[in-house]
Structure 1
Amino acid sequence: MGQSMLRLVQNETIKLLRRRRFLVVVLILAILIPIFTYAQYHSVVTTQERMGTTDWRPMLTQQIVDMQNRLASSRLPDEWRDLLKVRIQQQQYYLDHDINPMAPGGPTFARGFMDQAITMFLPMIIVVLAVDIVSSEFSEGTVKLLLTRPVRRWKILTSKYLTLLLFTSLTVITTLAMAYLISGVVFGYSGWTLPILTGFQIVGSELDTSGVFMLPQWQFLLMQYGLGWFVCVVVGTITFMVSVLVRSAAAGMGIMMAALISGMILTQMASSWEASKYLFNVNLELTDYLNGTLPPIAGMTLPFSLAVLSIWAIASLVVAYTVFIRRDVTA
């Protein structure tokens, strides 16, 4: 059984590589990461020129002052006001403890990149990988040949899912490696042992620092990219289900893009619809819990979001296997 499954996974890997999906993913990363690196570098240089110093303390102080000025606006929505209050307290904590939260370096860029990419960029890349992993068998007319082989259908679908997990893991590892290597050309490759604070808790709209502890940046990156991997697996699993249900890759792509984009919109508006916290696309920003950022809906926690995403993934697998095993391929 083990050898037959291994052969099936090898066969699915060859199919995926032949369709050059993973190559497309690598090219997207190779094009966009340098752009993001330049944007980050330009932002740092502009801030330093405006402040007239390279010392991070005055710059962080100015950020705090700017956010306090924004709080003075009477037109600021309550959810943004709470977010700014927490952010000010957090930045002040870093300043009081003489820790630069954004010290230059490849590891720091990789950390910031994951914070920004976990909600939309990485899930979209995983959708590109997964959207036609099953539906392509219908569009290419190979599904009858595939399902008439003397192999149980659940084994065929499992081999496809294992292949998806393999390439999802490779995508996350490649993202970390390329973010570090490319940004390091500009920012340098040091910073793995930079102290990072985590353990911030949100109580109401206030930041609780009683449980804050310090980690070297490499450990924080492992935690952060581990959460990023989990998000990618969940999005990949839901896309996997869509690929089983929809026979057109274009339709599957449209469904998943709509889901991810609506998730970004709901994250901004979620406070007015509390039930949205049970949607998978509102729970993708897992790294925010490490950073102590205010969640979209009060009361949301890391265990809650992990549980919601796990339920969505398990339900998607149940639907995918049920439909695939019972499907009439002559239809």
Structure 2
Amino acid sequence: MFNLMRNEWMKLFSRAATYVMIGAIVLAAIAATVIMLFINSLGSDQNLTWQEQLQADNERLEQMIETGEAGFMGDDPAERIAINEYALENDIAPNSMNISGTFWSYLENSTFLLSLIGLFAIIVASGIVASEFSWGTIKLLMIRPIARWKILLSKFITVGAFGLFLVVITAIISVILGLIFFDPGSPVRLVFEDGQVVEKSMAAYVVRLYIFNSLDVIMLTTMAFMISAVFRNSSLAIGISLFLLFVGGTATGFIAAYYDWAKFSLFANTNLSQYEMNMPIVEGMNMQFSIIMLVIYFAVFMTLAFTVFTKRDIAS
């Protein structure tokens, strides 16, 4: 098995496209840093301290309460005031991008780069099996005294390892750029829970965001791998997976506004950060339900891929 994975890894890095993907990740991280610095310079008043900005924010929130105006994305103005007052009383500088633009807020916002990683992982997963059939090299693999499921598993592990490799590169570059260009900020994240303000770790929060945002990528990459193995068509796998990557979440959100059965769809469960914000896409959903649904979908995708691949007539 190790030799199979090593061979797949060597084949992957023998292609120029792999290095183009890595370079694109690096350039995207740099571009994101420049954009965030620009946005931060426009979105904050450099003449005010963070204490003065929080006080001004509280005045705005109090006006919202008086007029009955709802907060952004269902945010409760009264809870925001409580958090701001706690920060002022305990001298905890906020990490919000619209206040100070700190290292932690930069890492929080840089998680959108995982969508780019997802695009590359889908491309690799779509071609790693289908290309063997299109190039005719699948027969060379099959004449070796190795079980078919081991061959397919080695390819799937290689795709996962490559995706993880890109995530690590993104995280390292983001940390380096964040430390260079942004203020350290506070390692404390203030949240309103059970009627009181609670201090939590920003590091743990950012790690959870990376994990939650990776689930969408993992599931769609697995789907692309399954389509590649079942239909032997990389274009079909890439087309379907990328379409769902960019449209699936929006379409599911629209359906969920009218039908509760939307909670059983894949994209209603890939975004576990909805529970971090206490805003499930369908009322009554919880993290345990979403994890169970993701395991079921993953099992279905892998079962289809391995069943068809191990039983297919290669000569056909």
- Given the alignment of the two structures, is residue 237 of structure 1 paired with residue 222 of structure 2, yes or no? yes
Task: State how far apart, in whole Å, the 2-side matches of 1:96 and 1:47 are.
Answer: 21
Q: Which has the higher mean CA deviation after the structures are superposed, 5-14 or 269-278? A: 269-278
- Alpha-carbon contact 1:134-1:244 (below 8 Å) kept: yes
Aligned-partner SS, 1:235:
helix
2:266 to 277, 280, 289: 280
Instruction: Give matches, 1:115-134, under 5 Å.
Output: 116-117=112-113, 120-134=115-129
Aligned-partner SS, 1:289:
helix
1:325 to 281, 290, 310: 310
Task: State how far apart, in whole Å, the 2-side matches of 1:211 and 1:22 are.
Answer: 49
Aligned-partner SS, 2:283:
coil
- CA apart distance, 1:241: 0.7
1:169 to 158, 164, 168: 164
Tell me the alpha carbon deviations over residues 42-61 of structure 1, each in whole angstroms, 9 at most, x when there is no partner. Answer: 22211224x85242414644
Q: Which residue of 1 aligns with 2:12?
A: 16
- Alpha-carbon contact 1:21-1:129 (below 8 Å) kept: no
Q: Which residue of 1 aligns with 2:74?
A: 85
Q: Which has the higher contact order (CA 8 A, sep 6+)?
A: 1
Task: State how far apart, in whole Å, the 2-side matches of 1:178 and 1:67 are.
Answer: 40
Tell me the alpha carbon deviations over residues 221-249 of structure 1, each in whole angstroms, 9 at most, x when there is no partner. Answer: 33332334444333322221122123232
* Structure 2 CA distance for partners of 1:248 and 1:308, relative to 1, 3 Å: same
- CA apart distance, 1:280: 1.6
- CA apart distance, 1:320: 0.5
Opposite residue 217 of structure 1, the aligned amino acid is: M
Tell me the alpha carbon deviations over residues 267-311 of structure 1, each in whole angstroms, 9 at most, x when there is no partner. Answer: 441222322222222322223422x15222222222222222221
* Structure 2 CA distance for partners of 1:244 and 1:288, relative to 1, 3 Å: same
Q: Which residue of 1 aligns with 2:103?
A: 106
Q: Which has the higher mean CA deviation after the structures are superposed, 253-262 or 212-221? A: 212-221
* Structure 2 CA distance for partners of 1:91 and 1:122, relative to 1, 3 Å: farther
Aligned-partner SS, 1:132:
helix
Opposite residue 163 of structure 1, the aligned amino acid is: T
Q: Which has the higher mean CA deviation after the structures are superposed, 40-49 or 155-164? A: 40-49
Q: Which residue of 2 aligns with 1:301?
A: 286
Q: Which residue of 1 aligns with 2:84?
A: 95
1:37 to 33, 36, 39: 33
Q: Which residue of 2 aligns with 1:195?
A: 188
Task: State how far apart, in whole Å, the 1-side matches of 2:269 and 2:170 are.
Answer: 21
Opposite residue 248 of structure 1, the aligned amino acid is: N
- Alpha-carbon contact 2:190-2:197 (below 8 Å) kept: yes
Task: State how far apart, in whole Å, the 1-side matches of 2:32 and 2:82 are.
Answer: 28
- Given the alignment of the two structures, is residue 46 of structure 1 paired with residue 42 of structure 2, yes or no? yes
Opposite residue 139 of structure 2, the aligned amino acid is: K
Q: Which residue of 2 aligns with 1:6?
A: 2
Alignment root-mean-square deviation, CA: 3.0
Q: Point out where structure 1 has 5 or more consecutive residues left out of the alignment.
A: 73-80, 201-207
- Alpha-carbon contact 1:227-1:287 (below 8 Å) kept: yes
Opposite residue 205 of structure 2, the aligned amino acid is: F
What's the TM-score, normalizing by structure 2?
Answer: 0.83
Q: Point out where structure 2 has 5 or more consecutive residues left out of the alignment.
A: none
Aligned-partner SS, 1:34:
helix
- Alpha-carbon contact 2:212-2:271 (below 8 Å) kept: no
Q: Which has the higher mean CA deviation after the structures are superposed, 60-69 or 262-271? A: 60-69
- CA apart distance, 1:212: 6.7
Q: Which has the higher mean CA deviation after the structures are superposed, 217-226 or 150-159? A: 217-226
- CA apart distance, 1:211: 8.5
Percent of matched pairs sharing the same residue: 23
Aligned-partner SS, 1:37:
helix
Task: State how far apart, in whole Å, the 1-side matches of 2:234 and 2:209 are.
Answer: 31
Opposite residue 329 of structure 1, the aligned amino acid is: I
Q: Which residue of 2 aligns with 1:315?
A: 300
What's the TM-score, normalizing by structure 1?
Answer: 0.80
* Structure 2 CA distance for partners of 1:136 and 1:278, relative to 1, 3 Å: same
Task: State how far apart, in whole Å, the 2-side matches of 1:254 and 1:309 are.
Answer: 22
